[in-house]
């Protein structure tokens, strides 16, 4: 007997082993189920409910129809042996627990008990493919399911997932496209299409797929699977805006997944999208605690949220986020100073010193502020130290004052002072203190060994020397973020495959992040022949330079591009701009050529 039921005149997919469409196996963290309401508790509830209903029909096993629960509704359908139900439910529980081999054995038993239902065969094919994408048994099981019901959407979806697992996402998209429109009733099926489209090579069809990804969140915005699909699209297509939007939506509908959202903010930061990273971090920091979101767990994400408030000029919000993220208010003041918000920096630092006159970090910030005035004096650097200081200053506080000392006295004076201070370490990948630390290391104020690995790569670029070794483990463990991995590859081999692959994914951030912009400029110099203006290929590099007109790495690239252009009148201003910010011997030598 076919297990195709009708309800209200519409086709309803056959026996669901528990009456409810239990969320099918996840692939890459995504629910790609026959339905999207497959949380474990709901699955078990409906499974037991259907078992109870099925038992009502045991005495009438000769009858062809029984009632069961389908997605919370009572429907009439074909009789299914209780042994098949029991085996299927055992498989579902094993699959949700991650025990795929036990799940497979249970599904196979269920199929033997009832060989006229496509659902257990679909599960068998899906699980076999997850265990081994090359397993031909997966194809055989799915083919059997589709012989029973050639329009059975879960089987078609499983076939598409298997194609993607074999490295053929485009084929998977085509397979999903064969599902009849009237059977595309779940967000999970549309999410599967979006995920597979995100994994295939770029094509003209991407624009339509992007629109479908957005439309899915509008139609099913209460379902996390819709936002997961948007995240997958943003990640797969290097679409930072949609990645950020997906993370924000996921936080709204699934606040207990805030740690995933934090990881997404760091991912955005690592590919040069600091503005988007700050936006996502701010959402996490401001999420209501009654939704189950606690304090921001990642120190860098906490600081991104603070930076967003500083750049918005909202001191109260910055202080509130600092308190919730366990960041000292003196560091908030220092970050405001680095971000060129001196009034906000002064307000916060004075507030800290008003509460604790011996707070060393806040005193450093105020001293640095005084040294920025029209007539800074050496007395501006009188600071409480030793037993007179009640706090351990943050790295940001030390760096802002060391920079003023180096500028108004000598780098050696700044080095000797900084060597006597033991600041708290910087947060990893800090986009505010990191560049300042590199600049001070370039001037000899802080030792190169004090920099984290990715900042040593940046320093090597400014010194125009070979970078330190970076292995794959450092990238995998996020010791070195994506943009610094790109920088490293550009310094080693600017035309190599790894550099090209990374740059193709990050080039959209070239006018937002100077590291990515420098990488793009170097790659353009290495691969494009002819003078600037003779080819459109120079345009992105020139726009990146214009977006960061005072960054030493980009000004060095600008000078090299000016040399390539061959116009004598372009060289003096390019050299002057680089010399104004040159800190390393290599930068000064390049500017003086």
Same-domain check for residues 422 and 480: no
The answer to whether residue 147 sits within a structural domain is yes
Look at residue 2 in the predicted model and tell me its pLDDT: 36
User: CA-CA distance, 110 to 172, in Å (whole number)?
Assistant: 27
Q: How far is CA 57 from CA 5, 60, 81, 565, in A?
A: 17, 5, 9, 85
Q: Is there a contact between 199 and 164 (Cβ–Cβ < 8 Å)?
A: yes
Sequence-distant (≥ 6) Cβ neighbours of residue 586 within 8 angstroms = 462, 463, 464, 465
Q: Are residues 158 and 202 in the same domain?
A: yes
Residues 576, 534: Cα–Cα separation, whole Å = 25
**Within a domain: 190:** yes
Residue-level pLDDT at 6: 33
| pLDDT for res 195 | 95
Query: Quick one: tokens of 545?
Result: 């330079």
State residue 44's pLDDT score. 35
Q: In angstroms, rounded to a whole number, what is the distance separating the alpha carbons of residues 206 and 320?
A: 41
Residue with tokens 């050529």: 593
pLDDT in tens, 501-557: 999 999 999 999 999 999 999 999 998 887 787 678 899 999 999 999 999 999 999
Contact status, residue 249 vs residue 260, Cβ threshold 8 Å: no
Task: Write the CATH number for 81.
Answer: 1.25.40.10
Q: Calculate mean pLDDT across residues 488-500.
A: 94
Q: Where is the domain boundary, 451, 470, 503?
A: 451
Per-residue pLDDT tens digits for 32-81: 333 333 333 333 333 433 444 344 343 444 455 666 554 444 546 667 78
Q: What is the pTM of this model?
A: 0.84
Lowest mean pLDDT among 230-244, 335-349, 477-491, 531-545: 531-545
Q: Are residues 506 and 401 in the same domain?
A: no
Residues 577 and 523 placed together within one structural domain of the fold: yes
Give yes or no for a contact between 454 and 429, defined as CB atoms under 8 angstroms apart: yes
Q: Are residues 436 and 470 in the same domain?
A: no
Q: Do residue 443 and residue 470 come from a single domain? A: no
Give the helix, strand, coil percentages of the chain, each rounded to 5: 65, 5, 30
Q: What is the mean pLDDT of residues 462-487?
A: 94
The Cα–Cα gap between 265 and 256 comes to: 16
Number of folded domains that form the chain: 3
Torsion 442-443-449-450 (CA) sign? negative
Residue 493 lies in a domain: yes
Measured between alpha carbons, how far is 321 from 283 in angstroms, rounded to an integer?
11
Q: What is the mean pLDDT of the chain?
A: 85
Sign of CA dihedral 110, 115, 117, 122: positive
Question: Residue 293: its pLDDT value, please?
Answer: 72
Give 341 or 152, the one with higher predicted confidence.
Answer: 341
106 neighbors 87 (Cβ within 8 angstroms): yes
197 and 345 share one domain: no
Say yes or no: 366 and 383 in one domain: yes
Same domain flag for 72 and 131: yes
* Shared-domain flag, residues 546 and 420: no
User: Does residue 19 carry a pLDDT above 50?
Assistant: no
Is residue 103 in some structural domain? Answer: yes
SS3 75: strand
Is position 282 within any domain? no
Residue 181 confidence (pLDDT): 79
Q: Which two tokens stand for residue 402?
A: 């060391």
- Kindly state whether residue 280 falls inside one of the protein's structural domains: no
User: How sure is the predictor about 377, in pLDDT bands with cuts at 50, 70 and 90?
Assistant: low
Query: For residues 380 and 331, which has the higher predicted lDDT (pLDDT)?
Result: 331
Q: Domain residues for 518?
A: 454-592
Which among 262, 297, 313, 267 is positioned nearest to 283, based on CA atoms?
Answer: 262
State whether 528 and 412 are in the same domain: no
Instruction: List pLDDT tens digits, range 274-313.
Output: 999 999 999 999 998 776 777 799 999 999 999 999 999 9
What is the enclosing helix (H) or strand (E) of 127? Answer: helix 118-131
Residue 378 exposed, middle or buried by CB count within 10 Å (0-12, 13-18, 19+): exposed
Q: Is residue 341 part of a domain?
A: yes
Out of 221, 249, 266, a domain closes at 221
Closest by Cα among 260, 242, 156, 137 to 198: 242
Is residue 53 domain-resident? Answer: yes
Among 197, 221, 245, the domain boundary falls at 221
Joined together, the tokens standing for residue 522 give 């170097």
Residues 397 and 472 placed together within one structural domain of the fold? no
Per DSSP, what are the bridge partners of residue 12? 5
Can you give the pLDDT at residue 74? Answer: 57
Question: What average pLDDT does the segment 410-433 reach?
Answer: 94
């Amino acid at each position: 007997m076919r297990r195709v039921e009708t309800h209200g005149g519409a086709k309803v997919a056959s026996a669901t082993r528990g009456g409810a469409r239990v969320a099918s196996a996840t692939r890459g963290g995504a629910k790609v189920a026959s339905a999207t309401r497959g949380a474990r508790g709901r699955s078990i509830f409906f499974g037991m409910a259907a078992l109870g209903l099925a038992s009502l029909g045991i005495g009438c096993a000769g009858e062809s129809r029984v009632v069961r629960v389908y997605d919370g509704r009572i429907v009439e359908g074909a009789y299914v042996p209780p042994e098949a139900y029991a085996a299927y439910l055992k498989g579902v529980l094993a699959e949700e627990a991650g025990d795929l081999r036990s799940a497979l054995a249970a599904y196979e038993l269920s199929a033997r008990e009832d060989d006229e239902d496509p659902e257990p065969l679909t599960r068998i094919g899906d699980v076999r493919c997850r265990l081994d994408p090359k397993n031909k048994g997966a194809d055989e099981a799915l083919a059997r399911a589709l012989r029973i019901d050639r329009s059975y959407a879960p089987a078609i979806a499983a076939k598409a997932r298997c194609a993607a697992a074999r490295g053929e996402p485009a084929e998977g998209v085509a397979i999903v496209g064969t599902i009849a429109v009237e059977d595309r009733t779940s967000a999970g099926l549309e999410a599967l299409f979006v995920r597979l489209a995100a994994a295939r090579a770029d094509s003209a069809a991407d624009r339509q797929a992007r629109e479908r990804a957005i439309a899915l969140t509008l139609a099913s915005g209460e379902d996390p699977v819709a936002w997961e699909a948007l995240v997958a699209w943003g990640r797969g297509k290097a679409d930072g805006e949609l990645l950020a939007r997906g993370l924000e939506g996921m936080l709204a509908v699934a606040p207990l997944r805030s740690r995933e959202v934090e990881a997404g903010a760091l991912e955005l930061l690592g590919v040069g999208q600091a503005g988007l990273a700050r936006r996502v971090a701010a959402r996490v920091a401001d999420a209501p605690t009654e939704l189950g979101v606690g304090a921001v767990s990642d120190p860098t994400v906490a600081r991104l949220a603070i930076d967003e408030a500083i750049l918005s000029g909202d001191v109260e919000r910055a202080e509130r986020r600092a308190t919730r993220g366990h960041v000292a208010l003196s560091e908030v003041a220092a970050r405001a100073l680095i971000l060129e918000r001196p009034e906000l920096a002064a307000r916060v630092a004075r507030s800290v010193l008003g509460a604790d006159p011996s707070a060393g970090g806040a005193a450093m910030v105020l001293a640095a502020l005084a040294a920025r005035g029209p007539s800074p004096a050496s007395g501006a650097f009188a600071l409480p130290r030793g037993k007179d200081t009640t706090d351990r200053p943050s790295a940001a506080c030390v760096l802002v004052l060391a920079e003023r000392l180096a500028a108004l006295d000598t780098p050696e004076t700044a080095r000797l002072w900084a060597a006597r201070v033991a600041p708290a370490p910087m947060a990893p990948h800090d986009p505010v203190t990191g560049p300042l630390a590199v600049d001070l290391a370039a001037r000899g104020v802080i030792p190169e060994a004090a920099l984290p690995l990715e900042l040593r790569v940046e320093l090597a670029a400014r010194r125009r020397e070979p970078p330190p070794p970076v292995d794959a483990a450092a990238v995998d463990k996020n010791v070195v973020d994506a943009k610094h991995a790109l920088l490293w590859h550009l310094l080693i081999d600017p035309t190599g495959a790894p550099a090209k692959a990374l740059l193709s994914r990050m080039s959209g951030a070239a006018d937002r992040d100077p590291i990515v912009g420098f990488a793009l400029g170097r790659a353009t110099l290495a691969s494009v022949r002819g003078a600037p203006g003779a080819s459109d290929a120079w345009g992105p590099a020139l726009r990146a330079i214009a977006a960061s007109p005072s960054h030493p790495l980009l000004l060095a690239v600008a000078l090299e591009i000016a040399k390539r252009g061959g116009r004598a009148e372009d060289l003096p201003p390019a050299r002057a701009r680089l010399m104004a910010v040159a800190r390393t011997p290599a930068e000064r030598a390049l500017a003086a050529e």
